[in-house]
Each structure stands twice: as C-alpha cells, then as structure tokens.
C-alpha cells in the first residue's frame, strides 16, 4: 500500500506527469476496448445488414401478408437436401447469395413461409422493377401469369402512414433497431405510393443487401 501511495504521490505532485499519466491510462483502455476489437472484426458490409429498409418496404411486407403471397412462396431455404442442391447450382440457376440471420431482423410478422407452389422469393431483389410490376399485373409469361392478378394493387393507396407508424412503434418496443425519427418519416415516405409500389419495393429489397455488400455464394 505504501508503495502505491508513493507512486501516486510522485505522479500527481508533478503537473506534467499528473496530466500525461491519466491520459495514457485512458488511451490504453481505449486501444484495448475499442480499437483492437474493431480491427479484429471484418466489418465490411456487415453493418449494412442491420441498416433499416425504406419504410415502404415494411409497408410492402404488410401487403405481402394480407394478399397471402406466403401461401405459395417461401422466403427461406429449408434444411433439406433438395433445397441445398437447387440453390448451390450456380452455373445452372444463377446467383443466390447465402441467407444470413440478420436479414430477417425487420420481418414482422415473419414471411418465411413453408409451402412453395411458386418459387422462393428471398432473392427477388435480383429481378428488375419492371419485371416484377408486369408479373404482379398478370402480364408475365408462363404459369405465373394466371396466378397473379394483382393489378388493382397499383390503383389503391398504400395508406396514410398512421398504421405503419404504430407498427414501427411496436417494433421499436420489441427491440428493433429503429428510431423515432424513422417512425415519423413514414408519413412522407408513403405519400403518393400505391400498394403495388410498396409491394414491389419490398420484393426489390429481398436479397438486395447481400448482393451489394455481403453476398456469399451458396455452395456445396
């Protein structure tokens, strides 16, 4: 104890060391607790998975559920052999970034689904806007045309934002990384948008971040 006291006395009685020594202690703590952990993690693209989507995307998810899309489409790969085979065949079926847990953070309720009459839509963001709009309006070719008669969604307003604002408040309450400012922004973001626009925004968001930032091929 005596030695500690003498040491403290010798440091604190000299003005220069009284300033420099605590500063060094503080900076070494900063180095160990902030800088080193930061360098150790590869943050490239990871934060982007947590960044919130446009409010129209969350509204679009609501429309996805009310229209019952999840009864025919999944938004997940199931842990079965056939799925693995199908989605790892890059040459045959194209680019399908591997799913990661964080991408479901803003799904409320979950739209993962379990029945797959149509294709899996967790990567529908790889399609183009005009392609999706045509498909929903029943103008696609093949079996999809007869099953998608959703043209009316483009004539109905997406909503005045009040419902979405309450939904986001509830999501914040249950731990979603959304702010009050974001909650308020929904009124502006839904202006002059139709239900169809919101649904397309939602479909275009699926897999977008994986494609742009953090995509890994799904491989054997």
* Structure token digits, residue 163: 């419902």
161 phi-psi bin (left φ>0, alpha ψ -120 to 50, beta other): left
Encoded one letter per residue, x for contact with ligand HEC by CB under 6 A and - for no contact, window 136-165 reads: ------xxx--xx-x---------------
Encoded one letter per residue, x for contact with ligand HEC by CB under 6 A and - for no contact, window 159-198 reads: ----------------------------------------
Q: Choose the binding region for ligand HEC from 6-14, 65-73, 77-85, 177-185 (rule: CB under 6 A).
A: 65-73
d(CA 7, CA 9): 5
Residue 35 CB, nearest approach to ligand HEC (Å): 45
Task: Give yes or no for a contact between 37 and 172, defined as CB atoms under 8 angstroms apart.
Answer: no
User: How far is Cα of residue 34 from the mean position of the Cα atoms in its chain?
Assistant: 26
Q: Which residue is at the shortest CB distance from ligand HEC?
A: 118
User: How far is Cα of residue 176 from the mean position of the Cα atoms in its chain?
Assistant: 11
Residue 50 CB, nearest approach to ligand HEC (Å): 25
Residue 156 CB, nearest approach to ligand HEC (Å): 13
Q: Choose the binding region for ligand HEC from 4-12, 22-30, 42-50, 70-78 (rule: CB under 6 A).
A: 70-78
Instruction: Return all residues near 160 (Cβ < 8 A) that are at least 6 apart.
Output: 187, 190
Task: Give yes or no for a contact between 99 and 76, defined as CB atoms under 8 angstroms apart.
Answer: yes
Closest residue by Cα to residue 202 from 147, 99, 122: 122
| Unique residue bearing structure tokens 């149509």 | 118
Residue 69 near ligand HEC by CB under 6 A: yes
Task: Give yes or no for a contact between 163 and 195, defined as CB atoms under 8 angstroms apart.
Answer: no
Encoded one letter per residue, x for contact with ligand HEC by CB under 6 A and - for no contact, window 71-90 reads: xxx-----------------
Task: Give yes or no for a contact between 55 and 185, defined as CB atoms under 8 angstroms apart.
Answer: yes
Q: Work out which of 132, 164, 168, 198 binds ligand HEC, going by CB under 6 A.
A: 132
Residue 155 CB, nearest approach to ligand HEC (Å): 15
Residue 122 CB, nearest approach to ligand HEC (Å): 11
Q: Choose the binding region for ligand HEC from 16-24, 60-68, 163-171, 178-186 (rule: CB under 6 A).
A: 60-68
d(CA 208, CA 124): 8
| Residues in contact with ligand HEC by the rule CB under 6 A | 64, 67-69, 71-73, 117-119, 121, 124, 132, 135, 142-144, 147-148, 150, 199, 203
């Amino acid at each position: 104890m005596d030695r500690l006291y003498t040491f403290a006395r010798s440091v604190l009685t000299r003005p220069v060391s009284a300033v420099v020594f605590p500063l060094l202690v503080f900076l070494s703590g900063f180095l160990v607790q902030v800088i080193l952990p930061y360098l150790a993690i590869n943050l490239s693209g990871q934060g982007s998975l947590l960044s919130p989507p446009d409010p129209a995307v969350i509204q679009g998810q609501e429309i996805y559920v009310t229209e019952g899309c999840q009864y025919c489409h999944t938004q997940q790969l199931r842990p079965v052999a056939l799925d693995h085979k199908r989605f790892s065949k890059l040459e045959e079926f194209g680019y399908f970034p591997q799913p990661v847990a964080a991408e479901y953070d803003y799904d409320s309720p979950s739209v993962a689904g379990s029945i797959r009459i149509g294709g899996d839509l967790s990567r529908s963001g790889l399609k183009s806007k005009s392609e999706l709009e045509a498909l929903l309006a029943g103008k696609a070719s093949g079996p999809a045309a007869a099953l998608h008669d959703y043209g009316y969604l483009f004539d109905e307003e997406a909503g005045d934002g009040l419902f979405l604002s309450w939904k986001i408040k509830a999501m914040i309450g249950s731990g979603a990384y959304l702010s009050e400012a974001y909650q308020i922004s929904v009124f502006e973001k839904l202006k002059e948008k139709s239900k169809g626009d919101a649904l397309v925004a939602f479909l275009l968001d699926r897999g977008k971040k994986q494609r742009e930032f953090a995509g890994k091929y799904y491989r054997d």
